[in-house]
Structure 1
Amino acid sequence: MDNTHITTDKEEQNQEIVLAGHPSGVPTADTFRINNIDMPTSEMLKDNEVLIKSLYVSVDPGMRGFMDKGDDDAAGNKYKLNQPITSRSVAQVIKSTDKTFAVDDIVHGRFAWQKYQTVSVDNIEKVDPNLAPISTAVSMLGVPGLAAYFGMLKIGQIKATDTVVVSGAAGSVGSIAAQIARIKGCKVVGIAGSPEKINYLENELGLDKGINYKQTNNMQVAITEACPNGVDVFFDNVGGELFDAILANINEYGRIAICGQIAEYNEDRPPQGPRPMHTLIKKSARMEGYVVFNFSDEFDDAKKQIAEWYNSGQIKYRENLIKGFDNIPSAFIGLFTGENIGKQMVKTGDSNDD
């Protein structure tokens, strides 16, 4: 490359968002800090690297644990103070020194919260815009959709005669998981926290029943009434007291897929509920936690199947899309107030095709 400065269309200021402090409980605006930083130069772009422009940034509840103090994270995912936070994102290639990736290619990966950055091609994948809108690479066709797919089919092992309950059913993972169960012919009950979400579950996604846990005095009784034949499969995104209520209704040979525990992510000392072991023994039931990357060898096939369901109208998805790079922190904080339906995402830039 013969120019030393990599220009952008508007010569905008490059920025990053760093972890300013370890949060106690729910993160606040003071947890984050936005810094102005230099735009990358040609000298920074090494062999087999690309310069990318951020387009969509995913915020997910599970990121909360990476903000805590400590060095006990074996995967190296703990965020460091005064260093950029990272999450799954979609970006566009602006410059490239690798023949596999061309200028204007759309890519996704785990990127820093920066408007522009250089990354190794080992850490990115191309997005196929023919499968679905490019933003779905970090929603329906990304970790949320894949977690729903493998949790329901591999861990839950659903079959058409099953009664399935999904907690956090209006969220990015739960909404896809619930629809997969519906596609497979199951009776599906979704749990969410507002009338708008219940309407979304029942009237848009076609679930058999939605339960608003915030307006229910006794969840165990509510589950019994909604599932008179008991619960065969429980897909859990929430944990806490909701887990206890559904566990009490689990059937013999029931399966429980533990995908997330958002009720406890901000707790310094998570409350101790009923221990499940006796119920699991009594019902010959199985409970299994998982991370989606356990199934990485099957990602491509899963994406094709989810995209096929989407393009045939069998799956719907919704993105709660917030615009503006500086709104990433507030979008993340909003996850813990229960305000989002579907996938919480931030649109940080326009692609050259827009």
Structure 2
Amino acid sequence: MENRAADRVGIALLGSGRIGVGHARALSGVPGVDLTVCDVDVGRAERVASELGARHCAIEEVFSRGAGIDAVVIATPTSTHEELILRCADAGVPFFCEKPVAPDLEGTRRCIEAVRAAGIASQIGFQRRFDPGYAEARRRVRAGELGEIHRIHMLTCDQHPPQEQFVATSGGIFRDCLIHDFDALRWVTGHEVESVFATGAVRGDPFFETYGDVDEAVAVLRMDDQTLVTAQTSRNNGQGYDVRMEISGTRANATVGLEPKVPLVSVEPGAAFPDADPWVDFIARFEACYGAELAAFVDVVRGKTPSPCPIDQALEALSIAVAATRSCREGRVVRLSEIREN
């Protein structure tokens, strides 16, 4: 499956649900991309493609010879990711995939091995790597501007809980939600997590407990340089969608997400900040990042740049999430070496 012309790239988007529609719009705006929208629901794919002036087809057609596809973007349900990645590896097609690669470590490792054997490019959708705030925090940390980092606080809080059918297959709040914070933590600091202690509670809809999940959680992480990290997550943050990272060093600090739309309310006399309408969800907050990561993927497919987030990065973030999940369920500190050895 080779490019038809040096300046054109045939991209098949698999999945045209909520995140898929956003990806379709972003890809349609990248110069030189010939977009094909694919879904098991062909009618839905046709509607999205028609809106954007793109082609559409069933997912099965993507991997057939002569389909004119140079790369694949996977935005289908989590349970399908592993199978589709393995099909990309078998066909020798570069791919972008929303996290997670697979619901468990074993499936993730199978995908990594297949991708390495096939020698194809891969990129995982940790979009915060394309957020200007996280990028600037990374620059300051790596440049030593904050001094020695002693503590970090991170949080990701949804305004409203997801639907029950999503929770049933999400893998839990640490895999679904805080995994983005875990990836950002590694990416910003350049250090690895050594151990995790996590706890959680169900304070809202009882169906979270039905699926062995929680809707409020806190984790304490110890990094390999002994930096202490706290991470919080919630499915019930009524003020708005809140994502922040606060980094404190011996010389200075840096905070990601402290801007006019952050869903905070000060009760100090005379305080007016923040003064804009809060973010409502992750799609609105990271819309520009999704576009940037997909444009970067097109450059990866064209051979202009190495992948900014290859598939092995997904294994590291998932390992932390698995450790946090185990800690929450067993009420103990879990070392990452325990996860990596299993």
Q: TM-score, normalised by structure 1?
A: 0.34
Structure ranking higher in strand proportion = 1
Higher percent of residues as helix? 2
Normalised by the length of structure 2, the TM-score is: 0.34
